[in-house]
Amino acid sequence: MSASAPALRVGYLVNRYPAVSHTFIRREIAGVEASGVEVKRYSVRPTDASEIVDEADRAEREKTAVLLRGGVLGLLGALILSALGRPFRFLRALGQAWSIGGRSDRGRLRHLAYLAEACLLRRWLARDAVTHLHAHFGTNPATVAYLCRLLGGPPYSFTVHGPEEFDRPEALGLREKIRHAEFVVAISDYGRSQLMRWTQTSSWAKLHGVRCGVDAEFLDGVRTPAPERPRLVCVGRLCEDKGQLLLVDAAGRLSREGISFELVFVGDGGLRPEIEAKIRSLGLEGKIQVRGWMDGAGVRREVADARALVLPSFAEGLPVVIMEALALGRPVISTYVAGIPELVRPGVTGWLVPAGSIDALVDSIREVLQAPRERLDALGRAGQEAVKARHDAKKESARLAELFRLGAGSREAR
């Protein structure tokens, strides 16, 4: 298959792309393109250049069209043109936006904005000859993709990550989005089970599992033994869902026990001031560092320098950083939440604790800090094997590309 004449052209829609927390989407797009499918990138909102820390994301930013870059006037113009040019389709989409908005905590006005975004996106997709649209996240990107389809845009699919889609499926109109989609992707078996709850059994065949993955930089990199240094790392957005405040409390308890450790937070977010205040209040400034966001090389370095990754989340889908840590040969401490137990197996690839249990978290961290390196390396090797078998970005992207092709083939047959 020639790169100059791809079998189909797929549009990718994300709320904010590229973003430091969305490297898995960049990997997926690269894998889909490597499978011979041309991809056009669309973002609802712009990403500030100062927020991009990875050179690969800077390159992606230059390739991405941003719906809101033209401001309110651009959206309003697209809305008016759609209403005048396709009145019946427009009224149908308007009715659905009004209906979903009435159930949503974001309200009808926000959903009218989504309709305007869909009007503009439909025009761009037609201009770019996109034959299929794929959205990441079942939240507003999937809403825009659904409304775009009602307006006469191409068939669409979307990937559901969780936990937001599972927490408020009715408010997000998840059932309607699934019903009108060509297919829907879940990133874990748990995620697919939740989608099965919100669609009729006759539609279960359109629900597919395509896992997030890691690339050759993680899968084929040089492996180093676990360090003797009692160091732990937590990577992710600093927010309530990730349980980082509980982790600081656990660190305070270990410090009072006289256990030596270092803890590094890699990431940023709205909870950072509160986390830093708690570190100061517990007198842990010399033991805990908050490093902010890092590029891919920085994350790999921090994980490799630690004995284990700790992610005590309260709500998740299946965090990519867990795959990254295991691929680097580092075991993981995490929680019995969503898809995490599908990859973190107690005593095999790491430790699992009940979400919210500081006692269990303290016990697991203490065990990691006191474990011989041989045991940590054995857990790390098992983790590497699990990630290679189930989370190779190239293989998973090829599966998604095949779904795109199958959809195109079935449409041609009709």
- The pLDDT assigned to 223 comes to 81
Fold classified for 9-213+392-413: Rossmann fold (3.40.50)
At a CB cut-off of 8 Å and minimum separation 6, what does 266 contact? 233, 234, 235, 236, 291, 292, 293, 294, 298, 299, 302
Report the C-alpha gap between 139 and 142 in whole angstroms. Answer: 6
pLDDT at 407: 84
Name the residue type at position 69.
Answer: R
Tokens read off for 407:
């959809």
State the chain's mean pLDDT as an integer: 94
Q: What share of the chain has pLDDT > 90, as a percent? A: 89
Cβ proximity of 20 and 54 under 8 Å? yes
Query: Which pLDDT does position 1 carry in this prediction?
Result: 40
Residue 67 pLDDT: 97
- pLDDT tens by residue, 96-122: 999 999 999 899 999 999 999 999 999
Q: Give tens-digit pLDDT for 21-62.
A: 899 999 999 999 999 999 999 999 998 888 888 899 999 999
CA distance 114 to 151: 12
Average pLDDT over residues 363-372: 98
Instruction: Give 194-224 pLDDT, tens digit per residue.
Output: 999 999 899 999 999 999 999 988 888 778 9
Backbone region of residue 99 per phi and psi (left: phi > 0; alpha: psi in -120 to 50; beta: other values): alpha
- Chain center to CA of 387: 17
pLDDT greater than 90 at residue 410? no
Same fold, 9-213+392-413 and 217-390: yes
As a whole number of angstroms, the distance between CA 230 and CA 258 comes to 13
Provide the 3-class DSSP secondary structure of residue 133. strand
Name residues whose C-beta falls within 8 Å of residue 9's C-beta, 6 or more positions apart in sequence.
37, 38, 39, 40, 128, 129, 130, 131, 132
Taking the alpha carbons at both ends of the chain, their separation in whole angstroms is 23
pLDDT for position 201: 93
Element (H, E) at 246: helix 244-256
pLDDT tens, residue by residue, 134-181: 999 999 999 999 999 999 999 999 999 999 999 999 999 999 999 999
Q: Where are the domains of the chain?
A: 9-213+392-413, 217-390
CATH 3.30.70.360 fits 217-390, yes or no: no
Tens digits of residue pLDDT in 248-283 = 999 999 999 999 999 999 999 999 999 999 999 999
Which pLDDT does position 6 carry in this prediction? 45
b/e sequence 300-324, b meaning 16+ C-beta within 10 Å: bebbbebbbbbbbbebbbbbbbbbb
Q: What is the rounded radius of gyration, in angstroms, for the C-alpha atoms of the chain? A: 22
List all residues 6 or more positions away from 115 whose beta carbon is below 8 Å from its beta carbon: 79, 93, 94, 97, 147
